[in-house]
Amino acid sequence: MSRLPSGPPLLFDMPLAPDFSIETRLMARGAGPVCGLDEAGRGPLAGPVVAAAVILDPRRIPPGLDDSKRLKAADRERLCAEILRTASAVSVASVAADGIDTVNILRASLEAMRRAATLLCVSPGHALVDGRDVPPGLPCDAQALVKGDQRSQSIAAASIVAKVTRDRMMTRCAAVHTAYGFDLHMGYATARHRSAIVEAGAVMRIHRMSFAPLKSGAVEADVEEGLLVAQAG
């Protein structure tokens, strides 16, 4: 599939909030339906990277869509429910920690987005992807948009669904692995999380062993001194 070039948006081209103008232009050229693709969880020490694909219904776009990072948790939850209720199609896919360790986080993120796009119940005609890279193997033409979740409502919707889904996964994980506080930091490298890794060990298949400080050997050194590595149930 063809890939359209992209680049950093000019300051005066950035809308105050994402809109549907890019999607409208594509559909006017017969390139619809347009799906937005985004992921959540590239930076944490633990948990999966989660991607979502969303095809919005142009007649029923929830008001208030924005980059998930610029929204409060309660607003993300509310908007996620609205997206699921009104969108033409929504899908979610993930790559777990051991998959991230195997291929690296960039490739894992792109693979999660590819999976999400292929799982849509409505075949997309074009994909708008947040970031600089187009996932290989997409079922349609695509273009990457830097800061796409602040420019395209379709990408913003995908960012919200991905973020809410991943947060729920980490909250469930916290109920099983109670020593780590996953529901508080969602796997990011907070002081509490780093301390818990030193005290309780890394959780295999939950922690990303290719990420520092796990990769550095700090945790492995603790294990050698008698600290067991927790096993995922």
Q: How many CB atoms sit inside 10 A of residue 7's CB? A: 9
Residues 41 and 128 placed together within one structural domain of the fold? yes
Q: What is the pLDDT at residue 216?
A: 65
Six token digits for residue 113: 């987005």
We report the CATH number of the domain holding residue 152 as 3.30.420.10
Domain carrying residue 189: 178-224
Q: Is residue 36 included in any domain, yes or no?
A: yes
Q: Is residue 28 included in any domain, yes or no?
A: yes
Report how far residue 226's alpha carbon sits from residue 105's, in angstroms, rounded to the nearest whole number: 30
Number of domains in the chain: 2
Q: What is the pLDDT at residue 167?
A: 98
Q: What is the pLDDT at residue 16?
A: 82
Q: Is residue 231 included in any domain, yes or no?
A: no
Residues 158 and 207 placed together within one structural domain of the fold? no
Q: Is residue 4 included in any domain, yes or no?
A: no
Report how far residue 12's alpha carbon sits from residue 9's, in angstroms, rounded to the nearest whole number: 8
Q: Determine the length of the chain.
A: 233
Identify the segments of the chain with pLDDT beneath 70: 1-15, 216-233
**In this predicted model, what pLDDT tens digit does every residue of 69-86 receive, in sequence order?**
999 999 999 999 999 999
Q: What is the pLDDT at residue 215?
A: 84
Query: What's the one-letter identity of residue 131?
Result: G
